[in-house]
Amino acid sequence: MLIRFYVENFLSFRDGCFFEMTPGFTRRKYFPNHIIIDDSGPSDKKGKKIQALPITAIYGANASGKSNLLGAFHLVCRFVTSDHFLSNFDGWPFVPFLLSAETTDRPSKFEIVLKTKGIVYTYGFTVSQEKVLEEWLQAQTTPKVNTILFERFIEKDQTVIEFDSQLAELEKDGAGKWVPEKELFLTFATKAGKGGVHFQNVKHWFDHICFVFTPVPNGIGKLIYKNPDIKDFIAKFVKNADSGIMSIDAKEEKLNIEKMKELPFPKELLERLEEEKPSLYTITTQHQRDDGKEVSFPLQMESEGTRQFMELLPVLFMMKKTDQIFLVDELESSLHPLLAKWFLREFINSPNRRKNQLIFTTHDTNLLDRELLRGDEIWFVQKDEKSASSFTRLSEYENWENFNYERAYLNGRFGGIPFFQETEMK
């Protein structure tokens, strides 16, 4: 499960910002069923088991940095899970805060605290505009034992990696000399079968995170086509949501590369597509005509709200299978407010929730409901006068427990709302 995420000097995040998934302090016991308690592994300094929240809502004005937070987390995970990620990337993905002369040449820093296999790991790295500068991995197996498994840094223009004694074999191999400067040592070592159980644990955690950035082009079609159980699950809920849909189906079509050659596509793209031979997956929905016969509609004929609802439903299905983290940008997009609330309640109260976590951005103030979310499950992102983003929990504000969340937010009590300058219309 995710415990903490740190980002510094990336896109709109100029200064270091912590995003917590651990419960905040409250005088009252709000929604104890919202707490994930992992009985395995280490406790905190007070002897309590590590706790985490299952859900977090992120609010903020347009261009405040909400999506940048999800983007930073997504980028870190792609970097860890992909081979030769930076070498194959068109351009450089780690863009620093560009609105300050002090930060444009400064490294970007990322760190994730996670718990898996009963162990709390802290993993992070810093990158310049050319290469990986630093990388580190720590493992906390008991409240008092926090082992630095390795530290990577640059010394005299050379990559140096120092290891804990249990990884002495890697030090003998001269790992600092054979890891590419644009790759993470964690990724490179696990691919080579090195690093042992701790490396495998952390890599497995990153590999099995599920990201849901809606809408997902071609994504849900492939999911429905290859998983009949998911198709039936989605069809059941969409039918019960008064959409008029009786059933759904998906089919696979190979991409016609020869036809694409007749159009001005880049040669490199066409060569890659010929090698990969990708497929397109299309969805149809079945409705009942007034004479009882079924009529098929292409998915594009359904409302945006119905399509968004269908994109979200696999989350409720997949959480039955394994513990995952789901990221959704603008969860409420085109959804009726009651459907958005229903979805969140289903996620929180599902007997299959276990250690699954949902992090989403939204503008829907209807979800700022103290009967739905805890105060420490709501975050606000806002920019300062120099356009640098920062985020704050609702529960960090004084007397927050006495507020009507929605009214206080719209009145500017928590920030994260747009401010308009008077503009003369001619």
Whether the per-residue pLDDT at 401 is higher than 90: the answer is no
What pLDDT was estimated at residue 73? 94
Mean pLDDT taken over the chain:
88
The per-residue pLDDT for range 115-163, each reduced to its tens digit, is 999 899 999 999 998 899 999 999 998 878 889 999 999 998 889 999 9
What pLDDT was estimated at residue 351? 78
For 131-162, letters b (16+ CB in 10 Å) and e give ebbbbbbbbbeebeeeeebbebebeeeebebe
Whether the per-residue pLDDT at 217 is higher than 60: the answer is no
Q: Which fold has domain 1-210+331-426?
A: Rossmann fold (3.40.50)
CA count, 13 A, side-chain hemisphere, 155: 8
Tell me what the mean pLDDT of segment 92-97 comes to: 92
What pLDDT was estimated at residue 387? 93
The per-residue pLDDT for range 271-329, each reduced to its tens digit, is 888 888 888 899 999 999 999 999 999 998 999 899 889 989 999 998 877 788 999 99
**123-132, 357-366, 417-426: which has the minimum mean pLDDT?**
417-426
**CA triple 143-145-150, angle to 5 deg:** 130
**Pairwise CA distance, residues 37 & 50, whole Å:** 6
What pLDDT was estimated at residue 414? 86
Q: Which of 166-180, 195-209, 313-327 has the highest mean pLDDT?
A: 195-209
**Pairwise CA distance, residues 231 & 372, whole Å:** 29
Token pair for residue 38? 């992992």
What pLDDT was estimated at residue 186? 95
Helix H or strand E encompassing 6? strand 2-8
What pLDDT was estimated at residue 212? 62
Domain ranges within the chain, ordered by starting residue: 1-210+331-426, 217-323
What pLDDT was estimated at residue 46? 63
What pLDDT was estimated at residue 27? 59
Whether the per-residue pLDDT at 164 is higher than 70: the answer is yes
Of residues 228 and 255, the one with the higher pLDDT is 228
Q: What percent of the chain has pLDDT over 90?
A: 56
Of residues 274 and 238, the one with the higher pLDDT is 238
DSSP conformation class of 32: G
DSSP letter for each residue of 274-341: HHH--EEEEEEEEEE-TTS-EEEEEGGGS-HHHHHHHHHHHHHHHTTTS--EEEESSTTTT--HHHHH
Count of CB atoms within 10 A of residue 262's CB?
A: 8
**49-53, 92-96, 421-425: which has the minimum mean pLDDT?**
421-425
Amino acid at the residue 373: L
**Pairwise CA distance, residues 355 & 35, whole Å:** 9
Tell me what the mean pLDDT of segment 231-257 comes to: 92
What pLDDT was estimated at residue 422? 67
Count of CB atoms within 10 A of residue 123's CB?
A: 23
Binned at pLDDT 50, 70 and 90, residue 193 comes out as confident
Nearest CA among 284, 316, 322 for reference residue 301: 284
What pLDDT was estimated at residue 154? 93
Q: What is the 3-state secondary structure (H, E, C) of 351-416?
A: CCCCCCEEEEECCCHHHCCCCCCCHHHEEEEEECCCCCEEEEEHHHCCCHHHCCHHHHHHCCCCCC
